[in-house]
Amino acid sequence: MSVEGFYLIEPAGKSLKCLFKIKRVLALEKTPYQEIAFADLEGFGKSLIIDNYVQSTETDEHFYHELLVQPAMTLHPNPKRVLIIGGGEGATLREVLKHKTVEEAVMVDIDEKVVEFSKKYLEHMHRGSFDDPRSKVIIMDGFEYVRKAPQKYFDVVIMDLTDPYARETAKALYSSEFYSQVKKIMADNSVLVTQAGSSYFYPDEYKYVLTSLSRNFGLIGEYWTWIPSFGLNVNFIIASDTINPWNIDPIEFDKRLQERGVQVKYVTGKRFLGLLLVGVIYPY
């Protein structure tokens, strides 16, 4: 077999790798924390790659970002103040700001260069969300920000972090101790959502996140979808003490999206309910 050109080999699981053909590297920068690349991947288009891991591609990033953001935002009856931890490319911020109810969206990311890189090269993902007057971008460690943030302030907290198995330092942001601190800055009628890695390829790490959340919140919902450019199932966990994701009414879900002026490509009330019912998948 003849193979020509440059390829990115990325671990999708402990015993599985994905092969991406790189058509063109458009930009490359090194920060104190990581290496960032903006490249054109065959079949996926313009893509953000951090430390040789695909983060977002223009063809399928909406699967991930809509599922991370829209269920939690829509289940809340009136989300005004939203905290995003991570999400440097601005796509999560973009999804939050689609809701007309939002008055303040705070995005906290530790790496200023990722944010600046995204502003410069990834307009097709953030779509000007950094310039929205409701946006407030803070360059700070997430743990430190949560420790200093006002208590009972945020209606929705969205954690768009690196995978819990990506590096040891990331694991602390999925710990029971961290969630207990986050809970202090959440309003009484609030909801939290996090991406939680892959239950199939990394079941132990996924169960760690689930256990950490279950120790702090009374109502938990688990759902997942397959992300083509990740080569694996990506899990999400939604948590609250007052908002039960299992009480979802698909018609009301879609009605809220419409009333708030939210346009989506993937998420609907029926689809979210279906993914919630499917729950999680584990290896045999």
Q: For residue 40, what is the domain's CATH number?
A: 2.30.140.10
* Same-domain status, 22 and 130: no
State mean pLDDT over 19-23: 94
Which domain, by its residues, includes 18?
6-54
Same domain, yes or no, for 68 and 188? yes
CB atoms within 10 A of CB 284: 4
| Number of domains within the chain | 2
Q: What band does 148 get if pLDDT is binned at 50, 70 and 90?
A: very high
The Cα–Cα gap between 198 and 45 comes to: 24
**274 labelled ligand-binding:** no
- CA gap 17, 255 in Å, rounded: 41
Q: CA quadruple 78, 81, 83, 87: dihedral positive or negative?
A: positive
Q: What is the residue-averaged pLDDT of the chain?
A: 93
Amino acid at 75: L
Is 160 in the active site? yes
Do 170 and 255 sit in the same domain of this protein? yes
Residues 112 and 247 in one domain: yes
Residue 269's CB: how many other CB atoms inside 10 A?
19
- What is the CATH number for 141? 3.40.50.150
Are both 77 and 196 inside the same structural domain?
Answer: yes
Residues 6+ positions from 168 with CB-CB distance below 8 Å = none
Q: 51, 111, 131, 160: which one is catalytic?
A: 160
Q: Quote the tokens at residue 153.
A: 């302030």
Do 19 and 106 belong to one domain?
no
Asked which of 33, 54, 75 is the last residue of a domain, the reply is: 54
Residues 92 and 197 in one domain: yes
Q: Establish whether 261 is an annotated binding residue.
A: no
Residues 30, 131, single domain; the answer is: no
Residues 28 and 132 in one domain: no
Q: Comparing C-alpha atoms, which of 267, 265, 233, 225 is closest to residue 248?
A: 267
Q: Tell me the pLDDT tens digit for each residue of 224-258.
A: 999 999 999 999 999 999 999 999 899 999 999 99
Q: Is residue 284 part of a domain?
A: no
Same domain, 29 and 100: no
Residue 75 shares a structural domain with residue 17: no
Record the tokens describing residue 281, joined without a space: 């998948």
99 annotated as belonging to a binding site for a ligand? no
At 78-90, the pLDDT tens digits run: 999 999 999 999 9
Q: Residue 76 annotated as binding? A: no
- 249 domain residue, yes or no: yes
**Is 132 annotated as contributing to ligand binding?**
no
pLDDT tens across 176-219, in order? Answer: 999 999 999 999 999 999 999 999 999 999 999 999 999 999 99
Rounded Cα–Cα distance for residues 95 and 99 (Å): 8
Among 217, 196, 195, 194, smallest CA distance to 206 is for 196
